[in-house]
Amino acid sequence: MNTSTLNVDFVWTNELSLCLCELPQPDAKLVEKYDGLKGVFLQRLVNAYEIVLTNLEKLAEGTITGDKAKEIIQGAQENERVKGLSKLATALFEELRPAIEKTRLGALGVYGEYLRPYIGIYLDTAINNAKPILDTVLPAEHH
């Protein structure tokens, strides 16, 4: 290989790495829309968890297996190791929150800059078409 080719490759690699470090900033409306959709989705998951938990408690009520499961769950909640693990997980999440936020904003910026012009309309249509189905199957609010 000749040195001029290596120099060109080196310069191109440096330019590429600099470009990859500078992610575009997302549009404020896109962040707001994402946060709204994320909030509704998380609320759907919480409601589904509560419904499943309530139904499982009703099914397990008065059975030997159900009573044993309640004892195990209560023992786990009182266990110091489980409490410590829970505190560790919470602290780890709090420590990682800035990195997660930076990654989320970077991903939204890349989506807004490079993908949204091409697939934004289709993604928005798919989300709007899925909402009535999700409202029936996995509602965001208790009925």
Per-residue pLDDT tens over the stretch 87-118: 999 999 999 999 999 999 999 999 999 999 99
pTM (2 decimals)? 0.71
Cβ pair 110, 21 in contact under 8 A? no
The candidate with the shortest Cα–Cα distance to 116, out of 17, 27, 16, 18, is 27
The candidate with the shortest Cα–Cα distance to 30, out of 133, 124, 132, is 124
For 32-47, the pLDDT digits (tens) are 999 999 999 999 999 9
